Amino acid sequence: MTEAAPRSPSAGRAKLADVAALAGVSVGTASKALSGSGRMRPETRQRVLDAVEQLGFRPNQHAQSLHTGRSWTVGLMTTDGIGRFSTPVLLGAEDALGAGKISVLLCDTRGDTIREQHHLRNLMDRRVDGIIVTGRRTDARPPMSGVDGIPIVYALSPSTDPSDTSVASDDRGGAQLAVEHLIATGRTRIAHVTGPEHHAAARDRARHAVDVLDRSDLRLSGGRVHFGEWSEAWGRRAADAVLRTAPDTDAFFCGNDQIARGVADALRERGLEVPGRIAVVGYDNWDTMALACRPPLTTIDMNLTEIGRIAALKLLEAIDSGPTPGVHTVPCRLVVREST
């Protein structure tokens, strides 16, 4: 006697048992694969997700909530109304959460603490299972207050409380990649132009750049870090200032791509070939800036989408088995283009 094939969507609404049968797993394993909980081989989870797609399965969220005490929803809260940095983080988080069929509620606080508390109360009223908080800067932020036992993971902007779970970019590694790349291309008189000194990203990248130069028995061209603004206009002014005091500068490491594009413009206006005479490295790998620059910029990619993905996985882990406190860093990567 042959075994009955799992029903198709046309035969009626598919059930979890149908998904399990098609994937060749138990109903319990199928349930864990959909919720993102439990430990299993990636290929097992993928078989379940493929079966869900094939059968057009739609879980009964109300029944799941009653059975598990979970709402199967997660809040994503951002302080970045523009979305330049937080959007890739949120996309990475949503991709990871979507694999478990968890609904995502997006809240934009626009950097307003009153609005943040308003959104927090709404998320708690909806009984979300957890919250991911992100922003547009790498500066540490105070932990959210008034949270009644809801797991929270901070992405890109880590919490100042070491007992919280945070996922951040590895600025030390990013600065090291940039400076070591310039040194490997034969540059020894490297200037550093960056943003406001009160921003953690500017301070940290500058400190780590100087450390790498020290280890190579080199010093900053011009003798100091040039702090300023995150803008192309500042990059143009800073390039002129550096070359007035240190005309033998042969490379610029810039704190972001906007500054680097401004530097490249100033060098071109002076008739200085990039990278023949002076090399330029940016930071962020913002396509709008890096690819439009002439020549296209070598830059550091912060892996923002990966930060979001790992933050989501940390949140699922916190929901299922408890948090993993501390700051978890995500490596940056060097993207080489024509400016070096």
The encoded tokens of residue 185 equal: 């291309």
Q: What is the DSSP letter of 298?
A: B
Q: Evaluate whether 235 touches 255 at the Cβ level (below 8 Å).
A: no
Secondary structure (3-state) at 315: helix
Directed axis angle between helix 16-23 and helix 42-55, to 10°? 130
Name every residue whose Cβ is closer than 8 Å to that of residue 203 and which is 6 or more positions away in sequence: 197
The encoded tokens of residue 67 equal: 């059975």
Which H or E element spans position 106?
strand 103-108
Residue 69 is predicted with a pLDDT of 54
The answer to whether the pTM exceeds 0.85 is no
Cα–Cα distance measured from residue 22 to residue 42, given in angstroms and rounded to the nearest whole number: 17
Instruction: From residue 286, give the alpha-carbon distance in Å to each of 87, 88, 182, 211.
Output: 12, 11, 20, 26
Q: Enumerate residue ranges in the chain where pLDDT < 70.
A: 1-12, 35-38, 58-70, 81-83, 99-101
Q: Evaluate whether 308 touches 90 at the Cβ level (below 8 Å).
A: yes
The encoded tokens of residue 221 equal: 């061209």
- Single out the residue of 144, 168, 142 nearest to residue 157, CA to CA: 168
Name every residue whose Cβ is closer than 8 Å to that of residue 74 and which is 6 or more positions away in sequence: 97, 102, 103, 104, 105, 128, 129, 130, 131, 132, 312, 315
Q: Evaluate whether 330 touches 169 at the Cβ level (below 8 Å).
A: yes
Radius of gyration of the chain (CA): 24
Cβ–Cβ contacts within 10 Å for residue 326, how many? Answer: 13
The encoded tokens of residue 198 equal: 């009160």
pLDDT 10s digits, 166-224: 999 999 999 999 999 999 999 999 999 999 999 999 999 999 999 999 999 999 999 99
The encoded tokens of residue 20 equal: 């399990």
Q: Evaluate whether 106 touches 78 at the Cβ level (below 8 Å).
A: yes
Residue 60 is predicted with a pLDDT of 58
Cα–Cα distance measured from residue 102 to residue 131, given in angstroms and rounded to the nearest whole number: 12
Hey, which residues does 169 pair with through a beta bridge? 330
Residue 38 is predicted with a pLDDT of 65
Instruction: From residue 225, give the alpha-carbon distance in Å to each of 79, 189, 335, 339.
Output: 29, 13, 23, 21
